[in-house]
A and B are shown apart, each in its own frame.
Chain A
Amino acid sequence: MAAKRKMSRWEIILQAAIFTVGFFYAVTYYVKVSEPIDLQMVADNSLAYLTAMILTAFAIGIINLTRIHWRNIKLRRADWKFSLVLIGSLYGMAIFSIIASPFALDPRGFIIPSWLIDVISPVWNFLYYNVLVSINTSIFSLLAFFIASAAYRAFKIRTMESTILLIAGLLVIIGEAPISDLIWPGFSAIQNWIMLVPNTAGQRGILIGAALSIVAFSVRRMIRYS
Chain B
Amino acid sequence: MFEFIPGRIGQAVLLVFVLLAVFVGSRIALRRRIKARPIHGIDRLEEWIKEAGKLDRCVFFTPGTGGVGSTDTLAALALLRYVARLCVRHNVKLIVANADLNVQQVTEEIVKSAYAKARKLGKYSVDSVRYISGSVFAYAAGVMGLLRRERPALNFFVGLFSAESLAIAEAGRSEALYQFAGTSSIDQLPFFLATCDVTLLAGELYAAQSYLTKDQQDISWTVGQDAGKVIALLLILIGTILVSLGNDIILNFLKF
What's the Cα separation between A35 and B213 when bound, in Å?
Answer: 46
Q: Does A146 contact B (CB under 8 A)?
A: yes
A212 lies within 8 A of B126 (CB): no
Residues of A within 8 A of B236 (CB): 208
Q: Does A34 contact B (CB under 8 A)?
A: yes
Q: Does A159 contact B (CB under 8 A)?
A: no
Residues of A within 8 A of B1 (CB): 32-35
16 contacts between A and B (CB under 8 A): A2-B215, A29-B8, A30-B9, A54-B67, A54-B102, A65-B131, A139-B167, A147-B191, A153-B195, A206-B189, A212-B228, A212-B229, A213-B203, A216-B225, A217-B75, A221-B74
User: What residue of chain B has the Cβ atom nearest to residue A209's Cβ?
Assistant: B203
Q: Does A203 contact B (CB under 8 A)?
A: yes
A178-226, CB < 8 A from B? 203, 206-210, 212-221, 224, 226
A216 lies within 8 A of B22 (CB): yes
Q: Does A163 contact B (CB under 8 A)?
A: no
Binding site for A on B (CB under 8 A): 1-5, 8-9, 11-12, 15, 18-19, 22, 67, 71, 74-75, 78, 101-102, 104-105, 126-127, 129-131, 134-135, 137-138, 140-141, 145, 149, 163, 166-167, 169-170, 173, 184, 186, 189, 191, 193-195, 201-203, 206-207, 209, 213-218, 221-222, 224-225, 228-229, 232-233, 236
- The size of the chain A interface, using a CB distance under 8 A, is 54
A60 lies within 8 A of B104 (CB): yes
B202 lies within 8 A of A206 (CB): yes
Q: Does A158 contact B (CB under 8 A)?
A: no
What's the Cα separation between A67 and B131 when bound, in Å?
Answer: 11
> Which of A65, A207, A213 neighbours the largest number of chain B CB atoms within 10 Å of its CB?
A213
Shortest distance between the CB of A142 and any CB in chain B (Å): 6
Residues of B within 8 A of A64 (CB): 104, 129-131
Chain A, 167-180, contact with B by CB distance < 8 Å: what is the 0/1 string? 00000000000000
Residues of B within 8 A of A209 (CB): 201-203, 229
Shortest distance between the CB of B126 and any CB in chain A (Å): 6
Shortest distance between the CB of A13 and any CB in chain B (Å): 18
Shortest distance between the CB of A44 and any CB in chain B (Å): 14
> Which of A65, A143, A216 neighbours the largest number of chain B CB atoms within 10 Å of its CB?
A216
What's the Cα separation between A206 and B205 when bound, in Å?
Answer: 12
Query: What 10 A-B pairs have minimum CB-CB distances, sorted nearest first?
Result: A210-B202, A57-B101, A139-B137, A213-B203, A154-B194, A150-B194, A146-B170, A210-B184, A61-B131, A213-B206
Binding site for B on A (CB under 8 A): 1-2, 4, 29-35, 54, 57-58, 60-61, 64-65, 67-68, 71, 78-79, 82, 135-136, 139-140, 142-143, 146-147, 149-151, 153-154, 203, 206-210, 212-221, 224, 226
B22 lies within 8 A of A219 (CB): yes
B166 lies within 8 A of A143 (CB): yes
Residues of B within 8 A of A143 (CB): 163, 166-167
Partner of B101, one of A4, A35, A54: A54
Residues of B within 8 A of A154 (CB): 193-194
Shortest distance between the CB of B229 and any CB in chain A (Å): 5
User: With A2-B215, A139-B167 known to touch, is A67 a contact of B149 (CB < 8 Å)?
Assistant: no
What's the Cα separation between A54 and B106 when bound, in Å?
Answer: 13
A216 lies within 8 A of B224 (CB): yes
What's the Cα separation between A65 and B104 when bound, in Å?
Answer: 11
A214 lies within 8 A of B206 (CB): yes
What's the Cα separation between A146 and B170 when bound, in Å?
Answer: 6
Residues of A within 8 A of B167 (CB): 139, 142-143, 146
Shortest distance between the CB of A226 and any CB in chain B (Å): 7
B101 lies within 8 A of A58 (CB): yes
Residues of A within 8 A of B104 (CB): 57, 60-61, 64
B221 lies within 8 A of A207 (CB): no
Shortest distance between the CB of B120 and any CB in chain A (Å): 20
A140 lies within 8 A of B137 (CB): yes
Partner of A57, one of B102, B191, B233: B102
Residues of A within 8 A of B203 (CB): 209-210, 212-213
What's the Cα separation between A210 and B189 when bound, in Å?
Answer: 13
